[in-house]
A and B are shown apart, each in its own frame.
Chain A
Amino acid sequence: MSKMHVKLNVNGQEVEGLAEPRTLLIHFLRENLNITGPHIGCETSHCGACTVDLNGKSVKSCTVFVAQANGSDVTTVEGLTNDDGSLGVIQEMFREHHGLQCGFCTPGMITRAHRLLQEKPNPTEEEVRFGMAGNLCRCTGYQNIVKAILASADMMNAQKEAAE
């Protein structure tokens, strides 16, 4: 199958490559770019392990063609680590509150939580549970994930306040 030229900005880096028109964004990220944070859990948009941020919106990259993402900004969990290599706030809070076990859903969870907290900087527990319902976890029962996200919101707000 003939290939097309695609160009993306992934985690702040300009990248380009050749892909078949049917290539999914998740496969392009994982196999062409070696960005293996986003995972494949279902390939039907249900589990959210492949969640990435596409132009400021959470998407499930298993059901987006890379062709559709051509020219877009993509953020994956790898892009949420601080510049000095330390864990970003949400990553740190997931660790602090035991918000992960096997780690397979974690990149999608954190990437989704990142977008949720951009949209709702002061969410209630109910809003977190609703906002995270597109991401499945089989290990944690979500209780500590919710705790981690609420703690992230508090910490991000405190940091914002301190900066002002």
Chain B
Amino acid sequence: MKDELTQDQRSANLKGMGSSRKRVEDVRFTQGKGRYVDDIKLDGMLFGDFVRSPYAHARVTSINTEAAMAIPGVVAVLTAKDLEPLGLHWMPTLAGDKQMVLADGKVLFQGQEVAYVIANDRYAAADGVEAVEVEYEELPVIVDPFEALKSDVVLREDLEGQTEGAHGPRKHHNHIFTWEQGDKEGTEKVLEEADVVAEEMVYYHRTHPCPLETCGCVASMDKVTGKLTLYGTFQAPHAIRTVVSLISGIAEHNIRVVSPDIGGGFGNKVGAYAGYVCSVVASIVTGKPVKWVEDRMENLMTTAFARDYWMQGKIAATKEGKITGLWCHTTADHGGFDACADPTKFPAGFMNICTGSYDIPTAYLAVDGVYTNKAPGGVSYRCSFRVTEAAYFIERMIEVLAIKLNMDAAELRRINFIKSDQFPYQSALGWEYDSGDYHRAWDQALNAVGYKQLREEQAQRIEEFKAGKTRKLIGIGLTHFTEIVGAGPVKNCDILGLGMFDSCEIRIHPTGSAIARLGTISQGQGHATTFAQIIASEIGLPADDITLEEGDTDTAPYGLGTYGSRSTPVAGAATAMAARKIRAKAQMIAAYLLEVHDDDVEWDVDRFSVKGAPERFKTMKEIAFAAYNQAIPGLEPGLEAVSYYDPPNMTYPFGAYICVMEIDVDTGEHEIRSFYALDDCGTRINPMIIDGQVHGGCTEGYAIAMGQEIAYDEMGNCKSATLMDFFLPTAWETPTYTTDFTVTPSPHHPIGAKGVGESPNVGSVPCFSNAVHDAFRPFGLVQSHMPHDHWRIWKIAKDLGLHS
């Protein structure tokens, strides 16, 4: 058979790795044909809705459901009393703590679930919620974690007297754990002997992932078959199935969990929430499907806050600026229950990546987790387990040190970067960085923005400002971040005892098309597009001929799901490995068909050809058909493979971001003049999708740095529970981003990819924040807490005496 196409043309036809392939998901999404949880409609379906506590800390003295039950359409009202005989009035959290499903005697945060009303439709359910009468007796409220550690008030009475928690000793009745990493004494010694030590409290405020679709589920118990189907907005459907089985006692094979299309996750949809448990119970009790979808206020007030880390830092250096040591003590506000979503052995996630991109010989980190009267959660809002906090901490400390040394912060970074020949690099806090070339990225970034000229312009602007010719300052925000993603090696990463591997199963059909199923679940990342590209490049079938499925635990192989930028590093690796198993079998089939030895054929884009005789070949399509119609001695029929991939290490994407911001000293308003984002995520699978991820992640970072927060008053009232108060930027104020890249493949990943989804959130928050600080650096500002909304920036200017 003669092939008219060149190798390059054949390769391009596959739309494999490196191609900006258009997304296959978009055909249905652009027509409104996505299928999200709230689109699911089952026969006889009921609706659940919560009665929630208006108080942040109170005893529940009585619950009267009589009036609610009298409302037409209300079917039942569940309280903790109803769940107690089933042992479901409390549930285990992902962090080794337990959490009330429905208020058991008291409430610990505003918005806590008190009763669950089940009704024929959502309006009747809302009527029922209004009619449930709950009496509360108010208790003293603690919203400050430092106060909590001093207070006599016991928040968690259920834990009273327990001096040991899931992560070691508890020092106080409101204390959860202490987590220590690194060399305490060595670091203290370095600090004592250092030429220079800069010290600062860096606060990363509480915020919320706030995906546009809120959390929800539909539980459907089939009493005839005994099978429970649970549709939901789950970022980890397989883990949810196991958890549901463990806490409900329903055998795991009798549970089917389905994550349909998910309208954004960003960490919000990792956790297990009271709504899921109550809906399952309600479906079992009523024998009907029950839907629960939280509204926006419930979402912002109760499911999955992020951050809330008070990070006290000390950084030591020589007078020339070489960093010699880093010390960090973090007070972590976990709210009323410890429901953080971290791997079991990491109660503060990967906060110990806080040495960042720098070669810091000695370091020490301690984190104290604390209970307060705030919502539980502590998820990774588009980051890999507290990496954002770590990156913000080190990137602020570098700036603080630069001020102390009176040095340019870009130069200070440069002289402290880990050098490319130091990889794999062992960090002082225990990680092995896989690969990087930070100097190259940094130089490329500084050149691209014209860093030197920007500093000259800034200096000139300061002169003009001092001369009264302008009221606007320029801030140049710098960041070089290193992420740690792709959790993770099973040897040290698990959630509830489930190892954090991931999986892919590929089945080739006789006509040479394929279906692949993965243990992950897309929430907008475009898995159906990109994972097909990996397979296309590995086995030479066009990506357009490969269907991808995720999220149905009855059909997909077991995996730990999508969060922490782990899909490409872990499931992407499983995909490549499964494809390689198929290719290995295809090689044997090709050799048989070509009547040569297995070793005498070689892979060529989409075919195996005889070595030295490229005109003799069998395409993958031909091989696929042969796998189903030929009796090949020594080979089973069919062509499929599965891979469960346990990564040998995490991956370490990095990036260099530079923001130029104009700040109006009199109004506190800002304007982002430019934002440059260079990302190195290793091998690039789909550049179009990478750019999209960077735009989106930077916009989330912009929101967090410049205005978004979950704020409480001293009574524990959540002051930012609607989109009126919780800042989500619109198209109007969102900056335009310039993206760039370098490629430093991961040496241990089958295709060298590192993951990119979360890098822009991790990198852009310190970049925006550093720009604000940089604008005021000449006037003496060292540290000011985020979010930098107009009022807070105005306040900085006022406190520095810049208002006449």
The reply to whether B210 and A138 form a contact with Cβ atoms under 8 Å apart is yes
A residues 99-118 near B (Cβ < 8 Å) are: 100-107, 110
Q: Say which one of B329-337, B421-429, B721-729 lies at the interface with A.
A: B721-729
Contacts of B523 in A (CB 8 A): 102
B residues 492-537 near A (Cβ < 8 Å) are: 523-526
Name the CB-closest residue of A to B261.
A103
Contacts of A76 in B (CB 8 A): 32
Given contacts A41-B212, A132-B730, 8 further A-B contacts (CB under 8 A): A20-B123, A41-B214, A41-B263, A91-B31, A100-B30, A128-B731, A129-B732, A141-B699
In the docked arrangement, what's the CA distance between A52 and B327, Å?
Answer: 54
Contacts of B590 in A (CB 8 A): none
Q: Is the interface of A mostly helix, strand, loop or mixed?
A: loop
Smallest CB–CB gap between B42 and chain A, Å? 13
Q: Mark A25-50, 1 if CB is under 8 A from B, else 0.
A: 00100110011111111111011010
B residues 719-763 near A (Cβ < 8 Å) are: 722-724, 728, 730-732, 734, 736-737
Q: Mark B147-177, 1 if CB is under 8 A from A, else 0.
A: 0000000000000000000000000000000
In the docked arrangement, what's the CA distance between A150 and B31, Å?
Answer: 19
A residues 114-147 near B (Cβ < 8 Å) are: 128-130, 132-146
The reply to whether A133 and B730 form a contact with Cβ atoms under 8 Å apart is yes
Smallest CB–CB gap between B543 and chain A, Å? 16
Smallest CB–CB gap between A7 and chain B, Å? 21
The reply to whether B26 and A95 form a contact with Cβ atoms under 8 Å apart is yes
Any B CB within 8 A of the CB of A153:
no
Which listed residue (A31, A104, A145) contacts B212, Cβ 8 A? A104
Name the CB-closest residue of B to A77.
B32
Smallest CB–CB gap between A74 and chain B, Å? 13
Number of A-B contacts (CB under 8 A): 179
Any A CB within 8 A of the CB of B584:
no
The reply to whether B210 and A144 form a contact with Cβ atoms under 8 Å apart is no
The reply to whether B31 and A136 form a contact with Cβ atoms under 8 Å apart is no
The reply to whether A100 and B737 form a contact with Cβ atoms under 8 Å apart is no
In the docked arrangement, what's the CA distance between A91 and B39, Å?
Answer: 21
The reply to whether A103 and B696 form a contact with Cβ atoms under 8 Å apart is no
Any B CB within 8 A of the CB of A98:
yes
Contacts of A139 in B (CB 8 A): 212, 264, 524, 692, 696
The reply to whether B122 and A27 form a contact with Cβ atoms under 8 Å apart is yes
The reply to whether A146 and B212 form a contact with Cβ atoms under 8 Å apart is no
The reply to whether A106 and B29 form a contact with Cβ atoms under 8 Å apart is yes
In the docked arrangement, what's the CA distance between A150 and B72, Å?
Answer: 51
- When A95-B22, A95-B26 are in contact, do A101 and B692 touch as well, CB less than 8 Å? yes
The reply to whether B695 and A87 form a contact with Cβ atoms under 8 Å apart is no
The reply to whether A141 and B724 form a contact with Cβ atoms under 8 Å apart is no
- When A129-B732, A138-B264 are in contact, do A94 and B32 touch as well, CB less than 8 Å? no
The reply to whether A46 and B724 form a contact with Cβ atoms under 8 Å apart is yes
The reply to whether B731 and A138 form a contact with Cβ atoms under 8 Å apart is no
Any B CB within 8 A of the CB of A78:
yes
Contacts of A38 in B (CB 8 A): 32
Any B CB within 8 A of the CB of A23:
yes
Any B CB within 8 A of the CB of A22:
yes
Q: Mark B684-709, 1 if CB is under 8 A from A, else 0.
A: 00001101100111111000000000
Any A CB within 8 A of the CB of B82:
no
Any A CB within 8 A of the CB of B346:
no
Which listed residue (A39, A44, A141, A146) contacts B722, Cβ 8 A? A44
Any B CB within 8 A of the CB of A81:
yes
The reply to whether B213 and A140 form a contact with Cβ atoms under 8 Å apart is no
Q: Mark B21-36, 1 if CB is under 8 A from A, else 0.
A: 0110111111111111
Any B CB within 8 A of the CB of A154:
no
- When A102-B212, A104-B36, A132-B731 are in contact, do A144 and B695 touch as well, CB less than 8 Å? yes
The reply to whether B30 and A106 form a contact with Cβ atoms under 8 Å apart is yes
Contacts of A129 in B (CB 8 A): 731-732, 734
B residues 663-695 near A (Cβ < 8 Å) are: 688-689, 691-692, 695
Name the CB-closest residue of A to B300.
A42
The reply to whether A142 and B123 form a contact with Cβ atoms under 8 Å apart is no
Any A CB within 8 A of the CB of B41:
yes
The reply to whether B728 and A138 form a contact with Cβ atoms under 8 Å apart is yes
Which listed residue (B25, B38, B212, B737) contacts A47, Cβ 8 A? B212
The reply to whether A41 and B698 form a contact with Cβ atoms under 8 Å apart is no
In the docked arrangement, what's the CA distance between A106 and B30, Å?
Answer: 6
Contacts of B689 in A (CB 8 A): 98
Contacts of B728 in A (CB 8 A): 46-47, 136, 138
- When A42-B723, A104-B264, A139-B524 are in contact, do A36 and B32 touch as well, CB less than 8 Å? yes
Smallest CB–CB gap between A134 and chain B, Å? 8
Please report the total number of A residues contacting B with Cβ < 8 Å.
59
The reply to whether A104 and B30 form a contact with Cβ atoms under 8 Å apart is no
Q: Mark B581-601, 1 if CB is under 8 A from A, else 0.
A: 000000000000000000000
Name the CB-closest residue of A to B299.
A42
In the docked arrangement, what's the CA distance between A27 and B125, Å?
Answer: 14
The reply to whether A140 and B39 form a contact with Cβ atoms under 8 Å apart is no
In the docked arrangement, what's the CA distance between A110 and B702, Å?
Answer: 24
List 7 interface pairs A-B (beta carbons < 8 Å), by A numbering: A41-B263, A47-B723, A102-B524, A104-B213, A104-B263, A129-B734, A138-B211
In the docked arrangement, what's the CA distance between A30 and B763, Å?
Answer: 39
In the docked arrangement, what's the CA distance between A76 and B724, Å?
Answer: 25
Contacts of A22 in B (CB 8 A): 123
In the docked arrangement, what's the CA distance between A24 and B455, Å?
Answer: 55
Smallest CB–CB gap between B678 and chain A, Å? 16
Contacts of A43 in B (CB 8 A): 295-296
- When A39-B213, A104-B213, A138-B212 are in contact, do A133 and B732 touch as well, CB less than 8 Å? yes
The reply to whether A140 and B692 form a contact with Cβ atoms under 8 Å apart is yes
The reply to whether B732 and A101 form a contact with Cβ atoms under 8 Å apart is no
Contacts of B39 in A (CB 8 A): 30, 36
Q: Mark B193-229, 1 if CB is under 8 A from A, else 0.
A: 0000000000000000011111000000000000000
Contacts of A136 in B (CB 8 A): 212, 723, 728, 730
The reply to whether A102 and B264 form a contact with Cβ atoms under 8 Å apart is yes
Name the CB-closest residue of B to A23.
B123
In the docked arrangement, what's the CA distance between A136 and B35, Å?
Answer: 20
Any A CB within 8 A of the CB of B278:
no
Any A CB within 8 A of the CB of B266:
yes
The reply to whether A98 and B23 form a contact with Cβ atoms under 8 Å apart is yes
Smallest CB–CB gap between A60 and chain B, Å? 12
Any A CB within 8 A of the CB of B262:
yes
- When A41-B212, A102-B212 are in contact, do A94 and B732 touch as well, CB less than 8 Å? no
Contacts of A37 in B (CB 8 A): 31-33
Contacts of A140 in B (CB 8 A): 692, 695-696, 699
In the docked arrangement, what's the CA distance between A136 and B212, Å?
Answer: 8
Contacts of B36 in A (CB 8 A): 36, 39, 104
Contacts of A47 in B (CB 8 A): 212, 296, 723, 728
Contacts of A106 in B (CB 8 A): 29-30, 32, 34
In the docked arrangement, what's the CA distance between A49 and B32, Å?
Answer: 11
The reply to whether A39 and B263 form a contact with Cβ atoms under 8 Å apart is yes
Name the CB-closest residue of A to B722.
A44
Which listed residue (A20, A40, A143) contacts B736, Cβ 8 A? A143
The reply to whether A133 and B524 form a contact with Cβ atoms under 8 Å apart is no
Which listed residue (A34, A81, A96, A144) contacts B41, Cβ 8 A? A34
The reply to whether A105 and B698 form a contact with Cβ atoms under 8 Å apart is no
In the docked arrangement, what's the CA distance between A78 and B700, Å?
Answer: 29
The reply to whether B688 and A98 form a contact with Cβ atoms under 8 Å apart is yes
Give the 4 A-B residue pairs with the shortest CB-CB distance, closest first: A37-B32, A104-B263, A102-B524, A103-B29
In the docked arrangement, what's the CA distance between A42 and B695, Å?
Answer: 23
- When A36-B39, A142-B699 are in contact, do A78 and B32 touch as well, CB less than 8 Å? yes
Contacts of A30 in B (CB 8 A): 38-39
The reply to whether A130 and B698 form a contact with Cβ atoms under 8 Å apart is no
Contacts of A100 in B (CB 8 A): 23, 26, 29-30
The reply to whether B692 and A144 form a contact with Cβ atoms under 8 Å apart is yes
